[in-house]
Structure 1
Amino acid sequence: MVSQVVNSNSNAIMGGTGMTINRKAERRKPKVGDLDFKPPDGGWGWLIVVACGFGNLCSFPMFHQFGLVFKEKFAQVGIDSSQTLTILNLCVAFNTGVGLLNGPLFRLFSQRQVAGFSACGIVISLIVLSFCTQFWSHIVMYSLCYGASFGLLEAANSLAINTYFKEKRRSATGYSWTLTGLGPIICPYIIVFLERYCGINGVIIIFAGIAMHSILCSLFLQPVEWHTEPRDEPVEAPIGDEQKTITRNMALADKFFANEGYCHSEVEPQKPSLLVGKETDSTLENSQIQEVSANGEEDIHKSEGICCTKEEDTNKSEESLDGKRVVLVEETDPVLISEPTNTLREKFCTYFDFDLMKDPTYLNLNLGLTFANVTEMNFSLATPIILTEFNFTKYEIANFMSVLAATDLIVRFISSVVADKIGWSNRTYFLIGVMSMAIGRVILVHTQTYTLGMFVAVVIGSGKALRTIFMILVIPSHVPLERLPAAYGLQFAVSGITFIVLGPVVGWIREQVGSYVYTLHILNILTYLTAISWTIDSWMTKRKKKIEDGVKKDQQMIS
């Protein structure tokens, strides 16, 4: 009854102003991480697909044509095969290891800024690389500068596509990498042709100029909220003069009902209060009461207990009209809430989102991707060197790599359409790809002929297409979008550490066995381990889900 009187009279006083708290709804565009965020799945996103694909096409040739470009240059400057594998693996290590910075980097800078900066780094490193003649200078300019810049560009482009697409993510990724796949088809012939007239250093400078197009492509990576559908959002909090008017009316209401034995107290806005049991940040004893005096001036004074106005404070010894006392708040002892303080280690783990490593499925996916990449990179980037050891001529090597790249391109385009209809998981497609490549390598090392080599190129190219497309989709299929940069960063960091550790080991094995035949067999073991661990994890996950569904079904039957 008391609250009804207070509310009705307060509404009567405030109603005279004609002011309402709720105003007309405003429109906003959701951002990544909002509950109502929905990727565009098209529109400007298709320009993102083209920009990312073409940017990678212009920047990657010196990476995927490593063996063809640097094989003769390293022979001229006296860099042996062990040092060559060291440069190669350190490049991949920095390429993936820089991913540890993805989480904090994409919190501070946009995808466009990261892509533009990394594209500039690629151009500068290639120009300087053309003048390098020492082993350590190649480590710095190619492995460190080019590898790290290339890794950041790849991460920015991949994150842009994953941000703009959800339902059509497979198709968008496939189309982008299909455009990128044109490079390995035509680049071997371009390199062989230009080397005859410009020399290997001239070829590197020419491809540095081609890489400048990546800077322009990075300008297309606009923030996704620019292209999301706006949402209606009501604004409930009044501002400016409206806030002052309502505060003044509430103060008048307090003064009006003060003589009736009721009170209304307002905690100081600058000191928010949170009442939990006996704990409070700002107690009622120290709260400020705002009122308006008879001449309309605002007056603020400190209250003790729950007294609200000067009139009630003066007459607090008098009894109310009906002789009854109304108790609104039970007095409790104030206890200050202390916010928990995180240690430097906890802040570091939170900033880089190391909690992801506690997820066994994510950890298994992370290690599996890393082991598969170690095997594929050591074969793919050293393919010309391996085929030279198998007595392939320079043009036969170019034909092998072009057939492999053409098959890769065709299968990428087809898989983008067929994969959704079949309905298998991204992990399944990835495993099919890496196992196909492993089988192709086994056939190649035991035949070592040009005719069967063309068949092996088709097999490896098909597997490489599946590996390339679905490698990017394995992590997003398990990790939410807002944690994706950190998840990618941790995966790249683990890959970088693994390449740093295993890179010299692979070179040492090559020197000890004296042939790539046994080296490739040893590398294939990592692919087999990935297939086994992922299969076991998938079986355990399905079994656990089946048990949980059975328990829920039993509980429903009992209830």
Structure 2
Amino acid sequence: MGKGRGKGKHGVGTDSMPTPPDGGWGWFVVLGSFLLHVVADGIVYSFGVFYMEFLHYFKGGKGETAWVGSLVPGVTLLVGPVASALTNRYGCRAVTIVGAIVAAAGFILSLFAPNIYYLFFSFGVLSGLGFGLMYLPAIVSVSHYFEKKRSFATGIAVCGSGLGTFIFAPVSKLLVDEYTWKGAVLIEAGIILNCILCGALFRPLVVRHNNADKNYDAEKAKQGEKEKLMKKTTESNGVQHVNQEDDLPDVQKTGTKDTLAIPSKNMHSLNVENDSTKLFRSEGAINRITSNSLAASTSKQSITQQHSGPMYRKDIFYSGSLVNIPQYRSNPDLYVTSITSLPDVIPDDHDWCLFRCLGLSPEMRDAIRQMLDFSLLKDVIFLLFTISNICTSIGFNMPYIYLPDRAVEKGISETDATFLVSVIGIANTIGRVVFGWMADKPWVNRLMLYNTALFICGVATALSPLSDSYPFLVCYAAIFGAFIGVYVGLTSVVLVDLLGLAKLTNAFGLLLMFQGLATFIGPPIAGWLYDGTGSYDVSFYVAGTVVAISGAMLYSIPFVQKCLGHRPPQDLVEISVPEQEEMKTLSA
């Protein structure tokens, strides 16, 4: 296995965790993730085109019709923990392929919709589920292949989202004009099926243990020879040999440390021996302890080999450069060791009832348990960040869905109105690149950058009803698209700055769930406000204010940290000194 991989904090060998190559086939993985973002996000964020068609075809209210558009991204986010569990068990490739098939099936079933409520399930829930199964592996696969170049690789992959929005908004409009909305949906279902090829590029990293197995066999043979020698020596000195199977020290687990428990009768036997035999007896015990520890370690390594899914890396959702993490800069090998350890084993009778009923595999249980640990909500800082994300998610999809229809109502042509979504998309791509580059600079306060960008988005949205001229709306779309890229691109980075790397998976999983719930209700609320007032102005006022509040409230985090006495999180490497020495030896 890769040089420098040692043992985890539980004493578990991390040789079963593959070494990211930081290149090679990883660039094809980036390509697959990029194209998947182009297709999936491009189709989801261009829903505003279909929204106008659904309004005319089904004759429903704007509020209830908006449910179709809000269900797709809402379900996509809400199934994040489920997608992570499946990815940890079956890998990125299989989950992505299944997701593409499910999303395409949802689009195809939408062709038979007799009413708008049918679309809630087919276009909204089913397609959202498929996109959710595609979205998470697209992020995880890139992180699995890159460490040093992760920020650059992830940046390329997620830029596909903005580019896809830029492309699919006019393409969807062209398809609708040429083939009606049913023909456009069918063609886009075929495009989604091409994501199967993108998923096929997510080739899993393979771990080979031939050298490790040979080393273990050789070490085991040496220990056997030493035990035989000790047995002969002790018998020749008149010392009764202790039964190897019954009285050997047991390796017991206490908390997160491995300790040796020596049976009391062994201790009594040691006490009655004379000084000359104590030496041989002690050496024999030490040799047996070493052998037993080696066997226990190897047993755990075999467990680790069966539990080597990508979700066992604590930094799998971290999209920034790893050089920003002090532990990685000081010693990359020890850093890798600290974030690739097995979770604690929970007995079945203490595990979640749902896990026992469904018979989920350990990999799926571990992933869901990590992402849905609600005890993190006791952290005031995370609670503030969660409330902010809920507010942002309420207004996030508003411009994508309603801006084209609002422009058409003000006398702008449908083609020009659709182009406003394309402007959001291309500005989003530029914003992600620029703000991603800034976030990796040591002189940038990433929390302040994140807060300010959200605040600007909110203010721009709230002020957008001041004018209905087309140049003004193009300017608003560009500002919103550029600054809203921070919301997606820097979330994981800011979470690590606030909570530490050890809590990232847990925090990210909970955020996905709350973001999904907030996305459900955001667009329908705006539609109901239109139905009640006859204008989109109030909807944009409310959405913009909520997003601005989401950014402004995070300015209080440094003050709250100071009041609570919180220090910046430090993810210390939780391994013992002997293991550190072993790591140094392996690295040499």
Provide closer, same or farther for how the CA distance between residues 190 and 528 of structure 1 changes in structure 2, counting only shifts above 3 A. Answer: closer
Kept in 2, the 8 Å contact 1:59–1:210? The answer is no
Question: 1:146 offset after TM fit, Å?
Answer: 0.9
Structure 2 distance, partners of 1:57, 1:360, is 37
Aligned twin of 1:127 = 108
Aligned residues: 482
In structure 2, the residue corresponding to 1:71 is in which secondary structure? helix
Aligned twin of 1:454 = 474
Kept in 2, the 8 Å contact 1:181–1:409? The answer is yes
Provide closer, same or farther for how the CA distance between residues 501 and 364 of structure 1 changes in structure 2, counting only shifts above 3 A. Answer: same
Question: Which of 381, 387, 391 does residue 361 from structure 1 map onto?
Answer: 381
Structure 2 distance, partners of 1:226, 1:240, is 22
Instruction: Spell out the pairing of 1:539-550 with structure 2 (5 A cutoff).
Output: 539-541=559-561
Matched, 1:201 2:221: no
Aligned twin of 2:228 = 248
Deviations 1:16-62 (A, max 9, x none): xxxxxxxxx99786799977987544443333222111112122333
Kept in 2, the 8 Å contact 1:403–1:454? The answer is yes
Structure 2 distance, partners of 1:98, 1:136, is 21
Query: Counterpart of 2:156 in structure 1: which amino acid?
Result: Y
Structure 2 distance, partners of 1:123, 1:320, is 79
- In terms of fraction of residues, the more helix-rich structure is 2
Query: Counterpart of 2:167 in structure 1: which amino acid?
Result: I
Matched, 1:70 2:48: no
Query: Counterpart of 1:371 in structure 2: which amino acid?
Result: C
Provide closer, same or farther for how the CA distance between residues 429 and 264 of structure 1 changes in structure 2, counting only shifts above 3 A. Answer: same
Aligned twin of 1:161 = 142
Q: Which moved more, 1:425-434 or 1:114-123?
A: 425-434
Kept in 2, the 8 Å contact 1:432–1:466? The answer is no
Aligned twin of 2:462 = 442
Kept in 2, the 8 Å contact 1:66–1:382? The answer is no
Structure 2 distance, partners of 1:131, 1:469, is 37
Kept in 1, the 8 Å contact 2:162–2:424? The answer is no
Query: Counterpart of 1:200 in structure 2: which amino acid?
Result: W
Return 5+ residue gaps in structure 2 as ranges.
283-344, 356-364, 570-588
Structure 2 distance, partners of 1:119, 1:42, is 26
Kept in 2, the 8 Å contact 1:97–1:493? The answer is yes
Q: TM-score under structure 2 normalisation? A: 0.69
Kept in 2, the 8 Å contact 1:435–1:463? The answer is no
Question: Which of 241, 250, 269 does residue 272 from structure 1 map onto?
Answer: 250
Percentage of pairs with the same residue: 18
Return 5+ residue gaps in structure 1 as ranges.
1-24, 288-303, 309-315, 329-338, 550-559
Query: Counterpart of 1:178 in structure 2: which amino acid?
Result: C
Structure 1 distance, partners of 2:274, 2:428, is 89
Question: 1:256 offset after TM fit, Å?
Answer: 1.3
Question: 1:267 offset after TM fit, Å?
Answer: 5.1
Provide closer, same or farther for how the CA distance between residues 237 and 271 of structure 1 changes in structure 2, counting only shifts above 3 A. Answer: farther
Question: 1:242 offset after TM fit, Å?
Answer: 5.4
Query: Counterpart of 1:255 in structure 2: which amino acid?
Result: E
Aligned twin of 1:372 = 392
In structure 1, the residue corresponding to 2:489 is in which secondary structure? helix
Task: Calculate the aligned-residue CA RMSD, in Å.
Answer: 4.4
Structure 2 distance, partners of 1:71, 1:321, is 93
Aligned twin of 2:269 = 306
Question: 1:140 offset after TM fit, Å?
Answer: 0.7
Provide closer, same or farther for how the CA distance between residues 184 and 107 of structure 1 changes in structure 2, counting only shifts above 3 A. Answer: closer
Kept in 1, the 8 Å contact 2:410–2:468? The answer is yes
Question: Which of 480, 485, 489 does residue 469 from structure 1 map onto?
Answer: 489
Query: Counterpart of 1:136 in structure 2: which amino acid?
Result: Y
Matched, 1:487 2:465: no
Aligned twin of 1:299 = none
Query: Counterpart of 2:456 in structure 1: which amino acid?
Result: S
Question: 1:95 offset after TM fit, Å?
Answer: 1.7
Instruction: Spell out the pairing of 1:377-456 with structure 2 (5 A cutoff).
Output: 377-421=397-441, 423-456=443-476
Deviations 1:184-229 (A, max 9, x none): 22223222322232221111111111112211111222335669xx
In structure 2, the residue corresponding to 1:382 is in which secondary structure? helix
Kept in 1, the 8 Å contact 2:76–2:128? The answer is yes
Query: Counterpart of 1:144 in structure 2: which amino acid?
Result: V
Structure 2 distance, partners of 1:128, 1:548, is 50
Q: TM-score under structure 1 normalisation? A: 0.73
Question: 1:418 offset after TM fit, Å?
Answer: 4.6
Query: Counterpart of 2:475 in structure 1: which amino acid?
Result: F
Question: 1:357 offset after TM fit, Å?
Answer: 2.8
Kept in 2, the 8 Å contact 1:407–1:462? The answer is yes
Kept in 1, the 8 Å contact 2:424–2:480? The answer is yes
Question: 1:488 offset after TM fit, Å?
Answer: 2.5
Kept in 2, the 8 Å contact 1:26–1:234? The answer is no
Provide closer, same or farther for how the CA distance between residues 180 and 31 of structure 1 changes in structure 2, counting only shifts above 3 A. Answer: farther
Query: Counterpart of 1:272 in structure 2: which amino acid?
Result: D
